[in-house]
Structures are given as C-alpha cells and as structure tokens.
Amino acid sequence: MKNDLKARLLELVNKFSGVRVLVIGDLMVDEHIFGEVNRISPEAPVPVVLVKKVNRVPGGAGNVANNLNQLGVNTYICGVIGKNDEYGKFLIKYFKKNGINSDGLFFSDKKGTIVKTRIIAHQQQLCRVDREDSLPIDEKMVKEIIKYVKRIIKEIDAILLSDYRKGVLIPALITEIIKIANDNSKIISVDPKVEHFMYYKNVDLITPNHYEASDGIKMKINNQEDVYKVGKVIMKKLNLKSLIITQSKDGMTVFEKNKKPRHIPTNALQVYDVTGAGDTVISVATASLAAKADILESAILANYAAGIVVGKVGTAPVTKNELLTVLEKL
C-alpha cells in the first residue's frame, strides 16, 4: 500500500471520534450459553448440557451500534424493545454503560425483545433457539420514531438503517426516514433486506451481499462479470450515490455514480465465523463517509475491518485500536 493511502486511512479512523451516527433498525440480543456434555438425557436421545457460562451482547441493529461505538463514533440507537422484559432491560443497561445514546428506544407491549440463543458445548454449537415476533410496528410507533428523528436530525451526521425484516423498518418508515435525511443533507446508508429492496431509493450507500443483490433485482450472479452487471442495474434502479456488494471470501465490489466499478479482494487471514461481518462493513463504511472519505476509501477500510471480525467467534465488534493496528502494519 502506498504511504499516502495508508496515512489517509489512519487519518479517517482517527476522525471517527468526531462523527455522530444514528442507527435505526431491528434490535436483538445474541445470547451464548456455554456448557459441557457428559451424558445423554434419559427422557430423549439428546445431550444434557451443564451450563458453565452465559454471555449476552447486542445483536441486529444493536450490534451495528456496538460496532460504531467501539470505533469511537458518537452513536445513537433507535428501535423497539419489549416492555419490561429481561432482554430489553439488558439492552438499556448495556447501551447506557457503553455511552450509546438510547433516547430513541421505544417500548412495545405487543412485541417482545428479539433473542437468539446459541447453545455451545466443547466448541460445537448444538442448537439455536430464536424468540422473536416479526409483527410490523403500528402507525403510532412509526409516528413516534419519525418525531424522534426530526428532533435530533441537526445533531447527527449520518443515519444508518439496519434492516433485519423483524418489523421495525417497514416501507412507510423507510421512505420517510430517507426523505428526512435527504431534506437535511445527511448521509444515509442501508444494510438491506431483499423484501424491502426497492424502497431504498435515493440513499448514499447500500451494502447487500451478493445473494441479496441477486435476489433484490432478480438477476443471477455466477461470476465477477455478473456482479458488475447486477451492480450497475441496482445503481440505476435505486438512484444510488454508491453501492458495495460484499462477496464473502471473494471480497467486495464498489460502485459509484458515473465511475467504473472497483473490486477489492478480501483481507481476511483466517475465517472462523462470518457472524456480524455485514454489520461491520456497513458500520465502518458509514463512519468513513461521515468523516468525509470517498466511497473507495470507505470500502477499503470496511474491508480491513471485516477481515478482522471474521477471525473472531460469535457476535463481536471491531475496535478502533484493532483497526489502527492492522493499518499501521501495512
């Protein structure tokens, strides 16, 4: 890497502390139960797990907010949690402890906090238990979220929509948030879901993986040439400023209005777990754009960060120091 690019990337990461990003989306708790198996249950032919440790971290949009926070970004979180449930209380406590602004949390007596529990014994995941309600938020909740966003829009530099299709980012809310961001000249980025693909028009950046990009516009991807074709169609259909299509072990491809697409090979040395890699890409790319990076610089930083996170096990963010350390070694 040329010294001037390295210096620029380091400069951008150090600017993250002056950036303010609002994350809106589907909040979850990722719970890992670690234990030992020494016998089979007499009730059914299944292992009996003796619990040794339970670990909980924010998932979904919460993991995106956690990524931004660990990068040094001033982070705001907006979403819906269950009213007076254990996991919602955990998220409130976690965000408060870590300095994430949680004034945008709204309580629902209809939707409980989403929880994904993974049971692990001897480094092997035995099963996953999901507790979730994908019921769309009602009109009253949409209005409350919009009111909150309008109230703080002058305070922030960017809005990041983290869509897991669990009922918060419904079309009416997506459309209105994009309008608010554009009317106030704020950066808006999206980690998309296929079902809402055509609602992400007129945004600064979306970051689908190659499956989502393919399904989103019903075009097959079999090779890199197909990625270029699909990306160009998405850019035109959604009127985007930029697009990053992530391609797992094959890196990512970057598209920008009126410029040729660029492919970036992966920087991952070892891949243990791809959980949360998409959250890392959208977090770092958005923070970079808010720090006045161009889309290629943003994608390069996001690619290095993703290379770090896939070397970790479970839902784990990339820290500012980890990213700086990798860049310093280039």
What are the catalytic residues? 279
E runs forming strands in 2-61 = 20-25, 27-40, 47-60
Q: What is the DSSP letter of 190?
A: E
User: What region, left, alpha or beta, does residue 248 occupy, with left being phi > 0 and alpha being psi -120 to 50 degrees?
Assistant: left
- Coil, helix or strand at residue 79: strand
Q: Burial level of 248, CB count in 10 A (0-12/13-18/19+)?
A: middle
- How far is the C-alpha of 125 from the C-alpha of 269, rounded, in Å? 23
The CA-based angle 77-83-86, given to 5 degrees, is 85
Q: Are 177 and 149 in contact (CB under 8 A)?
A: yes
Q: What angle do CA 163, 192, 199 make, to 5 degrees?
A: 95
The packing angle between helices 277-290 and 295-309, to 10°, is 150
Query: What separation in angstroms does the CA of 283 have from each of 115, 150, 190?
Result: 22, 22, 10
Amino acid at 224: Q
CB neighbours of 57 closer than 8 A, spacing ≥ 6? 29, 30, 63, 66, 94, 314, 315, 316
Pair 113, 85: CB distance under 8 Å? yes
Q: What is the DSSP string of 80-116?
A: EEETT-HHHHHHHHHHHHTT-EEEEEEEESSSPPEEE
